[in-house]
Amino acid sequence: MKDDNISKVSAPSLSGHEEAGTECSGWIRSGGGSVIKVGGAVVEDPASLAALLDQFVKIEGPKVLVHGGGRSATKLAAQLGIESQMVGGRRITDAETLRIVTMVYAGLVNKNIVAQLQARGVNALGLCGADLNLIRAHRRPVTPEGIDFGFVGDVDSADGQRLRQLLSEGITPVIAPITHDGAGQLLNTNADTIAQTIATALARCEMDNGQWTMDNGQWTARLKETLDPSRMDNGPLGSKRRLTLQECEMGKDKADCQSPSSTVSLTYCFELPGVLRDASDPATLIPHLTKADFRQLVADNIIVGGMIPKLENAFAALSAGVAAVRITNIHDLTGGTVITNT
């Protein structure tokens, strides 16, 4: 139920034009949501996938599952005589590789997970970023070092409202890491980034009643209501306006600018029990990791490789208003390493 003292605010559509009925309403604001990202090593092993899904179905409330599948893509590419190239844990995606990852991620892996969830009584729907215009991205530019990742996408926008609509009808989205650029081009996009983007979109939808956007990778326009003296004569509906995040950061009406918060959680689930000081020794689990800890451990070459972008996404989610982030394994979705900014 909407507060009668708050004017109706519509979320911008991804085309840049307002559409009727796109505001985030009370359901997601009170219901939050859980976003679980599961790695390829888990989804590609039947026993591990079954164990993960048995845990997943027990999560109460609305939930979203984001998955990878890189090992299956690498295996299929090898069978087809196509060499897989990786740079810093990221796949270089030429036209043939894009065909393979689309078939594997958005096809075989995605639909297998959907079928397994249906068998467990969960009304799952398999999607990629192109479906429902869910996630738009642009092709990654050539790096200063001259590395061309090919058809790899960096996220521009995500539609939390569309997800909210699905969740409100009891549908559990299962999202593959394939996005699109709005001009007909599919793009291979990092699954950890997809999960962070989805969690952030739901958090923004919950916090801001739909008035959010992503611009060049930065979420902006967090709105808070405040009294507007210039509109006091207009009655209850006109007596309040919304403060932008920029106004809050500039120090305007600080009393009305509360810190971003939501009830959305993000969990990265893979084959290890969490962030480890020694990747070969589960006993070296780090139960709590702050941003300062992360920077120091990277400098000390303790956190290396693919764990670095995973944690960068974790901290980005927290900074954007996601309430809780953890990294764990299939055996305990409430354990592992808890990630906090401080």
pLDDT, tens digit, for every residue of 17-29?
333 223 344 433 3
Among 3.40.1160.10, 1.20.200.10, 2.60.40.1120, 3.40.1360.10, name the CATH number for the domain at 37-222+260-339: 3.40.1160.10
What confidence tens digit (pLDDT) does each residue in 35-88 have?
Answer: 999 988 899 899 999 999 999 999 999 999 999 988 899 899 999 999 888 887
Q: Residue 222 contacts by C-beta under 8 Å, 6 or more apart in sequence?
A: 204, 207, 208, 212, 244, 245, 248, 260, 321
- Supply the pLDDT for residue 208: 58
Q: Which contacts qualify for 283-291: CB closer than 8 Å, 24 or more apart?
A: 285/336, 285/337, 286/337, 287/337, 287/338, 288/337, 288/338, 288/340, 289/337, 289/338, 289/339, 289/340, 290/340, 290/341, 290/342, 291/315, 291/341, 291/342
Quote the tokens at residue 136. 């738009």
Selection from 263, 262, 297 nearest residue 278 by Cα? 297
- Supply the pLDDT for residue 252: 45
Q: What value does the CA radius of gyration of the chain take, rounded to a whole number of Å?
A: 21
Rounded Cα–Cα distance for residues 19 and 232 (Å): 28
What residue ranges of the chain have pLDDT lower than 50? Answer: 1-31, 210-246, 248-249, 252-259
- Supply the pLDDT for residue 86: 83
The predicted model scores a pTM of 0.78
Rounded Cα–Cα distance for residues 64 and 205 (Å): 15
Which residue type, as a one-letter code, is found at position 294?
F
Domain boundaries, the chain: 37-222+260-339, 223-259
- Supply the pLDDT for residue 62: 93
- Measured in degrees and rounded to the nearest 5, phi and psi for residue 144 equal -55, -25
- Which of the 8 DSSP states describes residue 34? E
Q: Tell me the sheet residues that pair with 266.
A: 35, 325
Quote the tokens at residue 19. 């559409």
Rounded Cα–Cα distance for residues 290 and 275 (Å): 12
Are 23 and 314 contacting, i.e. CB atoms less than 8 angstroms apart? no
